[in-house]
């Protein structure tokens, strides 16, 4: 029985639930119908709105085109206005410039009138001439600018003259006399200069010719004496560094002692330099011999063999020239004909001692 009651209660609850479900189903069906109707209305409204939007878009495009055309026309109008304003500003500037020029012309005209009146008054006062009553005819080719320039130049020259000097003519004569004298002196100096330059050229020409002749002779003697001093195949030469100007040209000495390459004199040893200098000295001597020759310690850098060569050279020239040698070299002393010694036996007192070698030998033999 309890179960039956439970089943009844379950059936009642189920029926109630089905009844509620049918009610809700009916309500939802009605709601769906309402939504369908609303959706249909909304679609119709959307369609109308779409049509309205399309119409509004067409109208907007038309209005935008109208706006663009109006904007273009506005810009064109603004440009025309700007152009007109620019033309107006130019016209105003031209008008103001013309007014200023007109004013300047008026001022200038007033100045010219004042200046003209002053000039007429000055001419009347200075030259007793009334320009207002005098007709002045100008040439057809009259150049106003040139005339003004000439007037300005004349005024400047008049101002440069300063005050009138009544003694100017006398001063002019004195200055002219002085100028003539100076011009004559200048001409004399110019003639003297020309004569002097001509003489200098002749002297230079003659000197160059004589120098080259003498130089050639010295070259030959130098080469021969150098070979005698250095023996065998030794050679030496003199050369002008600037043959175009022999009088001012340096002279280069090239020497080649036996067994060596040609060298400048600066590259030689001390003894070789001395013998080369002796060769050059005697080469000059042969061109113009001298009855006396003094040599001061020229043998100092020489060894014994070169001293012998040097003394042999002295002996070769001793027949024409008397040589006085100042030396400390014993071999040089041995080969001399007469020896003079300077000694100081007392402090501050020099004494000369002479020895004749030939006489000494004879006395020794006796």
Q: How confident is the model at residue 192 (pLDDT cuts 50, 70, 90)?
A: very high
CB atoms inside a 10 Å sphere around CB 208: 14
Looking at the DSSP bridge assignments, the partners of residue 291 are none
Q: How confident is the model at residue 239 (pLDDT cuts 50, 70, 90)?
A: confident
pLDDT tens-place string over residues 263-289: 777 788 888 888 888 888 888 888 888
Reported in sequence order, the residue ranges of the chain that DSSP labels E, i.e. its strands, are: 235-240, 251-256, 263-264, 292-296, 322-326, 338-346, 349-356
Maximum Cα interatomic distance, the chain, rounded to a whole number of Å: 209
What DSSP state is assigned to residue 343?
E
**Where do we find the tokens 């007469």?**
338
pLDDT tens-place string over residues 295-353: 888 888 888 888 888 888 888 888 888 888 888 888 888 888 888 888 877 787 878 77
Structure tokens at 23: 């009610």
What DSSP state is assigned to residue 253?
E
Taking the C-alpha atoms of residue 289 and residue 267, their distance in angstroms, rounded to an integer, is 30
Q: Could you state, in order of their start, the residue ranges of all structural domains in the chain?
A: 208-335
Structure tokens at 335: 């080969």
300 exposure class (CB count in 10 Å sphere: 0-12, 13-18, 19+) = middle
Taking the C-alpha atoms of residue 360 and residue 363, their distance in angstroms, rounded to an integer, is 5
Per residue, the 3-state secondary structure of 9-39, as one string, reads HHHHHHHHHHHHHHHHHHHHHHHHHHHHHHH
Q: How confident is the model at residue 185 (pLDDT cuts 50, 70, 90)?
A: very high
pLDDT tens-place string over residues 99-142: 888 888 888 888 888 888 888 787 777 767 776 777 767 677 77
Is 220's pLDDT higher than 80?
A: yes
Taking the C-alpha atoms of residue 324 and residue 326, their distance in angstroms, rounded to an integer, is 7
Q: Is the dihedral of CA 84, 87, 91, 93 positive or negative?
A: positive
- CA separation (Å) from 27 to 8, 40, 345? 28, 20, 174
Nearest CA among 228, 232, 282, 235 for reference residue 255: 235
User: What residues contact residue 313 under an 8 Å CB cut-off, 6+ apart?
Assistant: 225, 228, 229, 278, 282
CB atoms inside a 10 Å sphere around CB 253: 20
Instruction: Describe the crossing of helices 304-317 and 270-287 by its angle, rounded to 10 degrees.
Output: 0
- Segment (H or E) for 317: helix 304-317
Is the pTM value of this prediction over 0.75?
no
Is 365's pLDDT higher than 60?
A: no
What DSSP state is assigned to residue 245?
S
Structure tokens at 36: 């369908």
CATH architecture of 208-335: 3-Layer(aba) Sandwich (3.40)
Taking the C-alpha atoms of residue 137 and residue 289, their distance in angstroms, rounded to an integer, is 97
pLDDT at position 278: 85
Q: Is 342 helix (H, G, I), strand (E, B) or coil?
A: strand
């Amino acid at each position: 029985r309890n179960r039956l009651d439970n089943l009844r209660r379950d059936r009642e609850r189920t029926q109630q639930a089905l009844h509620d479900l049918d009610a809700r189903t009916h309500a939802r069906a009605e709601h769906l119908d309402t939504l369908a109707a609303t959706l249909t209305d909304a679609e119709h409204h959307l369609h109308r709105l779409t049509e309205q939007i399309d119409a509004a878009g067409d109208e907007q495009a038309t209005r935008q085109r109208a706006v663009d055309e109006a904007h273009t026309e506005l810009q064109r109008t603004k440009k025309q206005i700007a152009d007109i304003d620019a033309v107006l500003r130019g016209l105003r500037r031209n008008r103001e410039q013309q007014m200023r020029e007109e004013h300047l012309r008026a001022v200038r005209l007033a100045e010219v009138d004042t200046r003209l009146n002053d000039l007429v008054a000055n001419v009347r006062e200075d030259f007793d001439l009334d320009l207002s009553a005098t007709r002045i005819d100008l040439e057809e080719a009259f150049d106003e600018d040139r005339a003004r320039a000439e007037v300005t130049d004349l005024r400047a020259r008049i101002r440069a003259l300063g005050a009138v000097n009544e003694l100017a003519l006398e001063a002019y004569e004195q200055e002219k006399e002085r100028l003539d004298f100076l011009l004559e002196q200048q001409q004399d100096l110019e003639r003297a200069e020309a004569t002097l330059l001509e003489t200098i050229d002749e002297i230079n020409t003659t000197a160059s010719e004589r120098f080259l002749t003498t130089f050639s002779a010295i070259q030959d003697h130098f080469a021969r004496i150098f070979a005698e001093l250095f023996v065998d195949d030794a050679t030496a030469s003199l050369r002008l560094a600037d043959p175009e100007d022999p009088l001012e040209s340096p002279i280069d000495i090239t020497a080649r002692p036996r067994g060596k390459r040609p060298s400048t004199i600066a590259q030689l040893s001390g003894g070789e330099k001395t013998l080369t200098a002796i060769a050059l000295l005697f080469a000059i001597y042969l061109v113009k011999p001298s009855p006396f020759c003094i040599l001061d310690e020229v043998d100092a850098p020489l060894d014994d063999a070169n001293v012998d060569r040097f003394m042999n050279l002295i002996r070769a020239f001793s027949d024409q020239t008397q040589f006085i040698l100042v030396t400390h070299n014993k071999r040089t002393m041995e080969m001399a004909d007469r020896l003079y010694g300077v000694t100081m036996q007392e402090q501050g007192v020099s004494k000369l001692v002479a020895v004749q070698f030939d006489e000494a030998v004879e006395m020794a033999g006796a």
